[in-house]
Amino acid sequence: MDNCIKRYFIITYGCQMNIHESEKIAGILTSMGYTLAENEKTADIVVFNTCCIRENAEDRAEGNIGALKKLKKQNKNLIIAVGGCMTQQPNFAISLLSKFPFIDIIFGTHNLENFKELLTKKLSQKKTLIEVIETDGCIYEGTPKKRTSYPNAWVNIMYGCNNFCTYCIVPYVRGRERSRKKQDIINECKDLIKQGYKEITLLGQNVNSYGNDLEDGSNFADLIKEIANIDGKFRLRFMTNHPKDFTDEMIYAIASNDKICKCVHLPVQSGSSKVLDLMNRHYDREYYINRLDKLKEVIPNCAVTTDIMVGFPQETDDDFLDTISLVKYADFNGAFTFVYSRRNGTVASEMQGQIEETVSQKRIMTLIDLQNEINRKQSDKYVGKTVEILCEDFDSKKNCYMGRDEFGKMVYFTSDKNLIGEFVMTKITKTGGMSLMGELID
Ligand code: SF4
């Protein structure tokens, strides 16, 4: 092994936002001459990019940091850095360091883009460097990125959140909404398409409020229309939408261009207006159904996926039945289902009427069974159809290629040729639960 080459390894927890932020850390390290290590054992620097949305992600991160103690003993020069939203919580850095004194760098969500300066500083000093900025971060342009999800590219359009849903810690650790300038986003997308990326996924905690903080009148509907007008064959996706800001203008913008996937992630969280109010979601059951109805009126075949939480404080059996009836009505094309988990520092964690785990478990199983049944029926309707998919990867366990149609449905198929990054036509031959099996057609 060449001793001059320094290697990095990044361990990422949480959502697409974090995956993309790890691409930025990897980009910064690459620009400093580091290359990717096979695993933490062969790395000179290990970075934990943490998530604190759910307690179990935090527990896993702490468990994995603890496991590096032995490695650090064997290799005193190993740098261990911990960042992400876990460390951004008040007083968290100090308590983390008291548990794991061998950590070298602790940084937050607002100064990730300064990782080069942080690492350079650390390399010239012995003691642990703690730099967690408490104020809202500004917007950095030009951070190098080492992208890992070809043919898809993630593009941040905004940071932070203003919504303060009562169960969520994000606004406390990621600050208030800050939108990137429209031209910077468009330039990044143009560049990605030129580089050969075939799918762009725009990221924000609530993409529908993009531009509210800008003075030039930019909004999300105009942004997606302008990106879709860039020359070339590619797909445009975005996440996450907030139903309260999901306007008619948005729906018509999605309908306006074939490059914009007819697939919308619209988290409902609960079918009970009472629970939605307790969650501080700023819409009720009727308003959500109104948005769904409008979307289906303008784009009848539009796929809709969602997030649903059960066991929120004070959720009664009747409230849960409201969720069940809404799921049946919506016929969602997919749902991320969760049991509410009490998160310190949130309003909901202090609420009366926390629900027994056994009750929540029963509810989630009922919900999962229902959604699986809906998805099975939807999958069955695909059999015999011809669909265009974007080939994304090779699944070595299944020994076949995989890709999604514009509605987000996963299709597996075999091919002698590497087709990753190509649009191909497949005929669906059978279903396999949530996914589909297909045959390539010329
Ligand atoms: S919209 Fe609500 S759930 Fe989503 S990040 Fe903001 S506070 Fe959290």
Task: Convert the pLDDT of each residue in 260-305 to its tens digit.
Answer: 999 999 999 999 999 999 999 999 999 999 999 999 999 999 999 9
Residue nearest to atom 1 of ligand 1 (CA): 163
Query: 401 in helix, strand or coil?
Result: strand
Please state, rounded to an integer, the average pLDDT across all residues of the chain: 94
Query: 153 in helix, strand or coil?
Result: strand
Give me ligand 1 centre to Cα 309, in Å: 13
- pLDDT reported for residue 37: 97
What is the distance, to the nearest Å, from the Cα of residue 221 to the centroid of all Cα atoms in its chain?
20
Give me ligand 1 centre to Cα 163, in Å: 6
User: How far apart, in whole angstroms, are the C-alpha atoms of residue 211 and residue 253?
Assistant: 16
Query: 394 in helix, strand or coil?
Result: strand
User: How far apart, in whole angstroms, are the C-alpha atoms of residue 323 and residue 330?
Assistant: 10
User: Is the minimum distance from the CB of 170 to ligand 1 under 6 angstroms?
Assistant: yes
Give me ligand 1 centre to Cα 143, in Å: 25
Q: pLDDT tens-digit profile of 257-272?
A: 999 999 999 999 999 9
| Res 2 pLDDT > 60 | no
Give me ligand 1 centre to Cα 161, in Å: 6
Q: Which of 170, 212, 281, 346 to mutate to test the pocket of ligand 1 (most atoms within 8 A of CB)?
A: 170
* Burial class (CB within 10 angstroms; exposed 0-12, middle 13-18, buried 19+) of 40: buried
User: Is the minimum distance from the CB of 168 to ligand 1 under 6 angstroms?
Assistant: yes
User: How far apart, in whole angstroms, are the C-alpha atoms of residue 387 and residue 370?
Assistant: 26
Q: pLDDT tens-digit profile of 110-133?
A: 888 899 999 999 999 888 999 998
For residue 162, give the ligand 1 atom closest to its CA. 6
User: Is the minimum distance from the CB of 161 to ligand 1 under 6 angstroms?
Assistant: yes
